[in-house]
Each structure stands twice: as structure tokens, then as C-alpha cells.
Amino acid sequence: MVLGGKNMRVAMYYNNRDVRLQELPRPKIGPGEILVKVIASGICGSDVMEWYRMRKAPLVLGHEIAGEIVEIGEGVGRYKIGDRVFVSHHIPCNTCHYCLMGYHTACETLHTTNYDPGGFAEYIRVPKLNVDRGVFLLPDELSFEDGVFIEPLACVVRGQRVANLQAGQAVLILGSGISGLLHLLLARTLGAGRIMATDVSDFRLQTARTFGADAVLHAAEDIPESVRRINKGRLADLVIVCTGAPVAFRQALKAVDRGGTILCFATTEPDVELSVPLNEFWRNEIKLMPSYGNSPLDATVAIELIRSGRVPVGKMITHRLPLDKTGDGFRLVAEGGESLKVIIEPQRQA
């Protein structure tokens, strides 16, 4: 199938306050590749990290996408035109030392793969390697909007897996944006005990309570003391840092219980250092670990969690915008006001 027309609309990122509607040539696919019409594309918190994004600008961002296959290249046998799909932007090789050791997100291939150009576009070209191991059919129960959450939920699945969350554990989530709320919902699904959530936003704290947090705490409080009060004298078994604010990482060090784990799900700006009380951590067997990205296995698990209704992601959508309003969406996410998941709909006309 060959589509008519040569150009397509994209939202070109220059910075968080400058996202322009522009035209680019519609990608041409080669053997083993597919062309996907993007129906829904979510704005991720990482999309508004200017220190990371501006060094590559201008560029088309967007990696939380769901759409429909409209063209297939020679040799593609597993998919057909009309299939509804979620597409992973970063995929591992599955053959290197790191993949074979289970560290798929440390794979060099994962860090160098992507689709063309990005999810804030009317169409994307999916390279052969991504077609091989990064394209997932959407079950009938999943809408395109649900598909937007597969990538962020897969990252959360991986994070809680490497942190070895156990049923009954007390969990403290620092930051109640999308990632924090997804951690809350998944921890509840996996049988966590008391779940406490923090934020600086009253809107997000109320949302965390609505989504099942047993307690919500303003980030300016004495968090360790509040956790002890709520958790019957004990600190948290698992502390999940979902904000890049350095103060949250320092709170985590003081709020984790003996034998507990700190999961650094978010990151800070470059060159930020964290002073860890090594002797105390050694004596109390406290683990400090990061989690970045996800693997194809995690995406598969995320799809099933959404399909089964165990993680009700649709309730997190606060804004749906056409492509020419992508700049408004970036401002909403960057400002962190009364918004959660902002979805861009490239096929929708203003």
C-alpha cells in the first residue's frame, strides 16, 4: 500500500515554551519496516526535561504512542495493514552481555534505537529491529488512549520487579505525578501494605488519595516522622523516588526502614551528587537501586494489567489536544498544575 501526499504535520520541539507545528516529508519505509498512523501520543515527564532535550533540539519528541498500521514493507509477515498497535521506541538486542544478564535497559542497542521521527507526528516509520521486537498488537479491550500508557506502566513494572516489592510491605512514593500514581496503582495491585504518597501539589495529593493511597503527605512535612506515625513506628520498606528534586532523594535516605530499599525511578539533572550514609546503610542492610526504561517482557505485562482492568489508566487522562496544541500540552506538563496525563491526537483537527 502506498499513501498519497508527500508531507505530514509534526510538532517540532525547541524548548518547553516553543513547540511549533511544522511539516516534514512523510517517512518512506523499506524492507522489514512499517508505517504507523499515530492516533494517540502521550507527553511524558521526561519530554519536558529541558537539560536533556534542548541539546538535541529541534526534534520531534513523543514515545508513548498507539496507532494503526497503514503500510508494510517487504518481508513483514507478523502484521498487516489495519492492525492496532503500540510501538516501543527503544528496544534491546537480546543477545549482548547485558541482555543475557537480564539488564536489557543497559543494552547499547536500546539506547540507540528509535522510530522516525517521533510520536508527535501524523505518521512514524518503525525500523526493522523495532518491528521485530517492539511492536505489540492492542487487545480489543484496549483503546488507543489506553495504549499510550503501555510504555510508562512497563517502566513501573520493571522498577517494582527490580526493587522486589513484596506483599504487605509499607511503600512510600515521593512524587505523585503520572509515574508516582502508576507506582501507587501497581503496588496496590501487587498487595502492598500501607501506601503513602507525597507531593507539593494539593491537586496531585488529592488525586493520589482518590487512587488509593492510605495517606498523603505534603513534601514540605517532616516525611520520616510522618511515615513513622502512620506506619506504627516504622519507616518504609520500599521508598520510590518519582521526582527529580534532590530534596526527595535526601528524604528517601531518611525514610527507608532497616532492610528496606530505595528505588530511584526518577533522575536529577547531571552532576547532582547524593551523600549516602554508607556505614548506616551497611549496618542496616539498606539497598539503593535505580530503574531506567523497560524491556519487551515488561511491556507485555503492562498490556495485560491494562487489559484486565487491574491498573485503570484511563482515569489519569486530564487533557486531549490536537497536534497544533502540542505546545499547550508541554506547558501543562512542565508547569505541573492541575494536569496528569496529557494526550496529543495527531489525526484530530483543531
Residue 349 confidence (pLDDT): 81
Are residues 332 and 319 in contact, defined by beta-carbon separation less than 8 angstroms?
yes
Domain that holds residue 180: 164-290
Average pLDDT on 108-117 reads: 96
pLDDT digits (tens, 9 = 90+) for 206-235: 999 999 999 999 999 999 999 999 999 999
Q: Which of 45, 23, 12, 6 is nearest to 118 (CA)?
A: 12
Question: Residue 159 domain-assigned?
Answer: no
For residue 338, the SS3 value is: coil
Concatenated DSSP letters of 36-86: EEEEEEEPPGGGG-HHHHTTT-SB----EEEEEEEEE-TT--S--TT-EEE
Question: Residue 115 domain-assigned?
Answer: yes
Q: Which of 267, 304, 297, 303 is nearest to 91 (CA)?
A: 297
141 and 43 assigned to the same domain: yes
3-state percent breakdown (helix, strand, coil) of the chain, nearest 5? 35, 25, 40
Angle, helix 150-162 to helix 296-307, in steps of 10 degrees: 110
223 and 88 assigned to the same domain: no
State how far Cα 312 lies from the chain centre: 15
180 and 227 assigned to the same domain: yes
Average pLDDT on 332-350 reads: 93
Question: Residue 274 domain-assigned?
Answer: yes
Report d(CA 183, CA 155) in Å as an integer: 10
pLDDT digits (tens, 9 = 90+) for 274-310: 999 999 999 999 999 999 999 999 999 999 999 999 9
Average pLDDT on 88-114 reads: 96
Band (pLDDT 50/70/90 cuts) for residue 1 is very low
Residue type, 269: E
Residue 54 confidence (pLDDT): 87
Question: 39: domain CATH number?
Answer: 3.90.180.10
pLDDT at 96 over 50: yes
Q: Is 202 exposed, middle or buried (0-12, 13-18, 19+ CB in 10 A)?
A: exposed
- φ, ψ of residue 336 to 5 degrees: the values are 65, 35
Band (pLDDT 50/70/90 cuts) for residue 4 is very low
Dihedral sign computed on CA atoms, order 147, 149, 151, 155: negative
Dihedral sign computed on CA atoms, order 262, 265, 268, 271: positive
Question: Residue 144 domain-assigned?
Answer: yes
181 and 260 assigned to the same domain: yes
Question: 246: domain CATH number?
Answer: 3.40.50.720
144 and 237 assigned to the same domain: no
Which residues lie below 8 Å from residue 286, measured CB to CB, with a gap of 6+? 256, 258, 259, 260, 261, 262, 280
Report in angstroms the alpha-carbon separations of 101 from 95, 104, 137, 157.
Answer: 10, 8, 27, 18
Average pLDDT on 128-146 reads: 97
Question: Residue 350 domain-assigned?
Answer: no
The pTM of this model reads 0.96
Please state the domain count of the chain. Answer: 2
283 and 308 assigned to the same domain: no
pLDDT at 350 over 70: no
pLDDT digits (tens, 9 = 90+) for 79-90: 999 999 999 999
